[in-house]
């Protein structure tokens, strides 16, 4: 019988890291490994995974930081004692994110091998982040990172590998078979993110105020009540529609013309960007921050643009350009789809299995091509990109340029 994999993830929800962990665990189950999963008993991507034994741990996020810290420490004490008395020395403990330090310490004490899958390091306060990184360096045998940028910023001292995220085969099939459902009489801008100021939600609303003829759709990973409380003192423009957490994002991508990620890089560096990859499978041009792993996915001027979210004037300019210049939009759309296809599910799954078996000392029969980043060479069609955001003249003909100026309010 193969070694058992014991996976630990703190909060089960519909965000990126549990989404990726589900793919990892499904790949390991398919490979014949027995898998136990310890996670908070919420409804999320880690719920109801076939072939996996799930053990509930208690954890809840709270808007009061001290309460959240207490709940975090309580959850770590709980998972520490659960694993300390249930782990077998032959088990491999697969820790998703830096947060489950209790699991890492228990695994170290029991002599288990530990693999970290690190998705982000934007943990506050800095003292907690440093403690989590130190625990990871002390306990881990290997680490998996979702981007080269993240690997460089984490200061992880053990063996590590960059494995870019991918999307499930069923998502890709649905995206490829979906027809464009965009409104020919309007231009729709979509953003899906957590309900955090540093995710650029107010910059998104500012763009909507400047472009009243555009439609702006904001999907937030929170409940209706949480969204209502968050925006209780904010004025939401009539062209903005807010949605609570969604299990099915396909209709939103189908209806969108452009998808944005407006995270503030000085507060939150995006390490990958799953919603951006999903959007590109729908052939949607994208706008992303200028730094982080998300900037590795998108090449500025090929699949979309790198723009700092504080520069709402340039954001609006690029949106108008894509709305009025159909040729430019089509080039960006085709490039986005071609780029998305470079992030294969096969390479991701093979990379995860190879990492775990490398820790176990199991040699691969032959190198797995493309496992490190899943990317192959591709010549993308280029646009004549001009970075002057002071006007909307670049890439727009004289007639559409007049329309663009009308869409940009002063």
Q: Report mean pLDDT in 10-residue bins for the chain, 410 residues.
A: 91 88 96 96 89 93 87 95 96 97 98 96 85 96 95 90 92 88 82 96 98 97 95 96 94 97 93 94 97 96 97 97 96 96 92 93 56 53 58 39 51
Q: How far apart are CA 259 and CA 273, in angstroms?
A: 11
Q: In the prediction, which pLDDT does 20 show? A: 93
The strand pairing partners of 240, in sequence order, are 216
* Sheet with 52-57: strands ordered across: 52-57, 35-40, 5-8, 92-96, 113-118, 142-145, 159-162
CB-based contacts of 175: which residues, under 8 Å, 6+ apart?
A: 250, 253, 278, 281, 282
Q: In the prediction, which pLDDT does 155 show? A: 87
Q: In the prediction, which pLDDT does 364 show? A: 56
Q: In the prediction, which pLDDT does 365 show? A: 52
Please state, in angstroms and as integers, the Cα–Cα distance from residue 125 to each residue in 81, 109, 128, following that order.
25, 27, 5
At residue 158, the 3 state secondary structure works out as coil
Secondary element (H or E) of residue 151: helix 148-154
The strand pairing partners of 342, in sequence order, are none
Q: Yes or no: say if 293 and 150 are a contact pair by the CB < 8 Å rule.
A: yes
Q: How far apart are CA 386 and CA 317, in angstroms?
A: 11
Q: Yes or no: say if 41 and 12 are a contact pair by the CB < 8 Å rule.
A: yes
Is the sign of the CA dihedral 298, 300, 301, 305 positive or negative? positive
For the chain, domains (ranges, CATH) are 5-162+343-359 (3.40.50.2000), 170-340+378-407 (3.40.50.2000)
CA 296 to chain centre: 13
Q: Count the alpha carbons within 13 Å of 122 in the hemisphere toward its beta carbon.
A: 17
One-character DSSP codes across 77-106: HHHHHHHHHH--TT-EEEEESS--HHHHHH
Q: Kindly report whether the global pTM for this prediction surpasses the value 0.95.
A: no
Q: In the prediction, which pLDDT does 368 show? A: 43
Q: In the prediction, which pLDDT does 41 show? A: 77
Q: In the prediction, which pLDDT does 185 show? A: 75
Q: Count the alpha carbons within 13 Å of 346 in the hemisphere toward its beta carbon.
A: 6
Residue 285 sits at φ, ψ, to 5 deg, of -60, 150
Q: What is the 3-state secondary structure (H, E, C) of 341-352?
A: CCCCHHHHHHHH
CB-based contacts of 27: which residues, under 8 Å, 6+ apart?
A: 348, 349, 352, 353
Q: Yes or no: say if 256 and 188 are a contact pair by the CB < 8 Å rule.
A: yes
């Amino acid at each position: 019988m193969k070694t058992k994999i014991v996976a630990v993830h703190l909060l089960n929800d519909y965000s990126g890291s549990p989404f990726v962990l589900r793919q990892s665990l499904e790949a390991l189950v398919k490979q014949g490994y027995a898998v136990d999963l310890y996670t908070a008993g919420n409804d999320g991507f880690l719920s109801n995974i076939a072939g996996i034994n799930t053990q509930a741990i208690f954890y809840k996020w709270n808007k009061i930081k001290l309460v959240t810290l207490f709940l975090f420490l309580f959850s770590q004490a709980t998972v520490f004692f659960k694993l300390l008395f249930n782990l077998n020395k032959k088990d491999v403990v697969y820790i998703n994110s830096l947060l489950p330090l209790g699991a890492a310490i228990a695994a170290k004490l029991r002599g288990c091998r530990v693999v970290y899958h690190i998705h982000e390091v934007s943990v506050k306060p800095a003292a907690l982040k440093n403690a989590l990184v130190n625990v990871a360096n002390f306990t881990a045998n290997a680490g998996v990172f979702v981007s080269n940028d993240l690997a460089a910023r984490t200061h992880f001292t053990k063996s590590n590998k960059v494995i870019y995220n991918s999307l499930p085969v069923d998502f890709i099939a649905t995206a490829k078979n979906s027809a464009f459902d965009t409104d020919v009489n309007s231009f729709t801008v979509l953003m899906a993110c957590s309900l955090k100021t540093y995710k650029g939600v107010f910059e998104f609303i500012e763009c909507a105020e400047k472009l009243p003829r555009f439609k702006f759709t904001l999907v937030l990973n929170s409940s209706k009540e949480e969204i209502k409380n968050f925006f209780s003192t904010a004025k939401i423009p009539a062209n903005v529609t807010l949605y609570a957490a969604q299990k099915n994002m396909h209709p939103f991508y189908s209806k969108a013309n452009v998808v944005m990620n407006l995270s503030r890089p000085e507060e939150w560096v995006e390490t990958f960007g799953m919603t951006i990859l999903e959007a590109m499978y729908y052939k949607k041009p994208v706008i992303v921050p200028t730094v982080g792993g998300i900037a590795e996915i998108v090449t500025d001027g090929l699949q979309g643009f790198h723009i700092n979210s504080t520069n709402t004037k340039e954001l609006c300019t690029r949106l108008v350009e894509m709305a009025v210049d159909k040729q430019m939009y089509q080039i960006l759309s085709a490039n986005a789809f071609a780029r998305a296809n470079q992030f294969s599910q096969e390479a991701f799954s093979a990379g995860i299995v190879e990492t775990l078996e490398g820790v176990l000392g199991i040699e691969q029969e032959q190198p797995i091509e493309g496992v490190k980043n899943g990317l192959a060479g591709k010549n993308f069609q280029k646009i004549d990109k001009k970075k002057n955001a002071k006007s909307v003249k670049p890439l727009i003909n004289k007639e559409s340029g007049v329309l663009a100026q009308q869409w940009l309010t002063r």
